[in-house]
Structure 1
Amino acid sequence: MRLQNTGLLIHDEERATQGFTLFSPLMQDQVYLLNMKGDVVHEWTVNGNAYGYAYLLPNGNLLASALAPDAKREDREGMRYILEWDWNGRIIWQCEAPGQHHDFVRLANGNTSFLGFERLSKRAAGRVRGGLKGTEIDGEYILGDYIREVTPRGEVDWEWRSEINMEIEKFPLHDFTSREEFSHANSIFDLNGSGYLISSRRSSILFMIDRETKHVTWSRHEEHWGGQHDAQILENGNLLFFANGFKTQGVGLPYSQVIEMNWKTGEEVWTYRGDPPWTFNSPHISGCQRLASGNTLICEGLWGRIFEITPKGEIVWEYISPYEGWISRGGGNGNWIFRALRYMPNSPQIGGRLSL
């Protein structure tokens, strides 16, 4: 892995946004909450942590996904669970989530929505365009995505399926990606109950779906996004996402970006790159969060790096995870992080439980 120091590297007390930073090392069972000094002030254990991602609910509870006890991490269609832990680490709610992957969200009505894999029919798989020929799973089938909303009792309240609800031919895979999965959604953002914003890594496409009709109402593809992650709508109505820059052509050395875009016009109104650009590069995972101060928290996932920048791109807080673990993809140890989030001291998620 890249030679680096770990722990807290930078803390500009005057310009950094005060709060607590939540993250979970990929392929590990711990979820950590850090103070601004980089100290762990609280943690949870998520046995079988499926995707190294968790977040705090307004009641202070933790929502995360986990593998079923007999499930194998490499089995993408295997059983997972979405679980809710209280502050003291007790499981107070869970639901089955077969094939669950990447993202999930607790909705305002109390339902929980999540992404999952399901096998495409042969007819639907035959409609998938692009990708490297002959790279289907076992040379036979392709996985598609579904979105499922479940009630607090675990009952399915609504479902969207890429096989049925997408015009598959209009969303071709990147020429240099495998045909194991169609779309490979990696984030789901709730549009205030009216639908969802979805990020599709293998096509470098962002799209919105309408909850009532289940139709795709907006989409945009840009080659230079390179398998983007963590798409979200800001309070100003713009899109914010992490553009990984994976397998992009004609850009020289690969690099990543964080992009704020007016999705109605397509104008990129703000962009962060490294200086020089190739010093900021995570070809997969990763995320971003616009903070109340106007600063942006960024997770450069491949390197276990979480840092905060001003609107001008100045780094005012930086932390690199010291937690290494076995990474199954390619083998070897790594300190990867899928996503990180910061919570303000007066937020309902913290709720006076901690002080800076």
Structure 2
Amino acid sequence: MTIDDQTRRRTTKTGLTALDRDRACPGYTLYAPMNGPGDVYLLNLDGEEVHHWSMPDPPGLYGYLLPNGNLFYGGKLRDEMWDRFQSWKRFKGGVMMEVDWDGNVVWEHRDIDHHHDARRTESGGAIYLTVELMPEALAAKVKGGNPITGENGMWADVIVEVDASGKRVWEWHAAEHLDPERDIITFNDSRDEWSHGNTVAPLPDGRVLFSFRNISTVGIIDKASGEIV
């Protein structure tokens, strides 16, 4: 380790910096450097590397350790939609895959509109976040946000569920259920997006949990009716 590396570690406090074994939650930590090429690490409580996956694509953005020990990973693809709007490339995905302990792909699904989060479902498919371009008339009614942004239109989230074969079995369009008068974009966020979904997760009894950053909203959707409950 060079002197520069030692200085950086000391000032940025990388590696294990604190451990109160009696109070720490037991278990493992799964992470991937956000700007890395696709290295995923599983660490134990002592900060030691238990396992490492080398994925074919950079993170885009989330991943989870599944009950069977496999990794479910969202990857970032540099495709024809790379410059869709100003901030899109920071959080876009494009591919979600389940890999086993040795990195072998056991399931993969691609969607050019995918971003941020995706979760495996009990049926063997996945539920995930995508975006769609809103009609100009509706976008004009949405309040809030930085007024000098949004030159490429306004986008809203679509939550998509696919089965094990990749066939769409359910989708929910945020723009059809949000209220332009009430669901106001926070003042410091861009008008490129109305909702900006951060996470989505299936719940029991046919419900779906979501989080929309730009309108500071966490909610639950009833899949049968599409209503936010």
Q: Identify the TM-score tier after normalising by the shorter chain.
A: 0.7 to 0.9
1:4 Cα deviation after fit: 2.1
Distance across 2 between alignment mates of 1:93 and 1:22: 20
2:121 is aligned, of 97, 107, 113, to: 107
Aligned residues of 1:24 and 1:52 also touching (Cα < 8 A): no
Residue ranges of structure 1 left out of the alignment (5+ in a row): 218-356
Residue ranges of structure 2 left out of the alignment (5+ in a row): 1-7
Identity across aligned pairs (percent)?
Answer: 32
1:35 Cα deviation after fit: 1.2
1:69 and 1:133, CA in 2 relative to 1: closer, same or farther beyond 3 A? Answer: closer
Aligned residues of 1:54 and 1:65 also touching (Cα < 8 A): yes
What is the RMSD computed on CA atoms of the aligned residues?
Answer: 2.3
Distance across 2 between alignment mates of 1:122 and 1:80: 26
1:21 is aligned, of 15, 29, 38, to: 29
**Normalized against structure 2, the TM-score is what?**
0.85
1:41 and 1:73, CA in 2 relative to 1: closer, same or farther beyond 3 A? Answer: farther
Distance across 2 between alignment mates of 1:197 and 1:92: 26
1:69 Cα deviation after fit: 5.7
1:157 corresponds in structure 2 to 169
Residue 25 of structure 1 aligns to a residue in which SS?
coil
1:71 and 1:38, CA in 2 relative to 1: closer, same or farther beyond 3 A? Answer: farther
Is the counterpart of residue 32 in structure 1 residue 41 in structure 2? yes
2:5 corresponds in structure 1 to none
Distance across 1 between alignment mates of 2:228 and 2:61: 29
Structural mapping, 1:306-321, within 5 Å? none
1:37 and 1:72, CA in 2 relative to 1: closer, same or farther beyond 3 A? Answer: farther
1:297 corresponds in structure 2 to none
- The AA in structure 1 aligned to 2:211 is S
1:54 corresponds in structure 2 to 63
**Normalized against structure 1, the TM-score is what?**
0.56
Aligned residues of 1:166 and 1:216 also touching (Cα < 8 A): no
Is the counterpart of residue 125 in structure 1 residue 139 in structure 2? yes
1:66 Cα deviation after fit: 1.3
- The AA in structure 1 aligned to 2:30 is L
Q: How many pairs does the alignment contain?
A: 215
Deviation readout 1:126-183 (Å, 9 max, x if unpaired): 22111122310xx140111010000110000000011223333320111232201111
Structural mapping, 1:195-344, within 5 Å? 195-217=207-229
1:88 corresponds in structure 2 to 102
Distance across 2 between alignment mates of 1:79 and 1:22: 19
1:193 Cα deviation after fit: 4.3
Aligned residues of 1:193 and 1:211 also touching (Cα < 8 A): no
Distance across 2 between alignment mates of 1:53 and 1:86: 17
Aligned residues of 2:93 and 2:114 also touching (Cα < 8 A): yes
- Could you list the runs of 4 or more consecutive aligned residues of structure 1 that deviate by over 3 angstroms after TM superposition? 68-79
Is the counterpart of residue 11 in structure 1 residue 23 in structure 2? no
Is the counterpart of residue 171 in structure 1 residue 183 in structure 2? yes
Distance across 1 between alignment mates of 2:75 and 2:93: 9
1:339 corresponds in structure 2 to none
Aligned residues of 2:72 and 2:97 also touching (Cα < 8 A): yes
1:211 and 1:73, CA in 2 relative to 1: closer, same or farther beyond 3 A? Answer: same
Is the counterpart of residue 187 in structure 1 residue 229 in structure 2? no
1:269 corresponds in structure 2 to none
Larger RCO (alpha carbons 8 Å, 6+ apart): 1
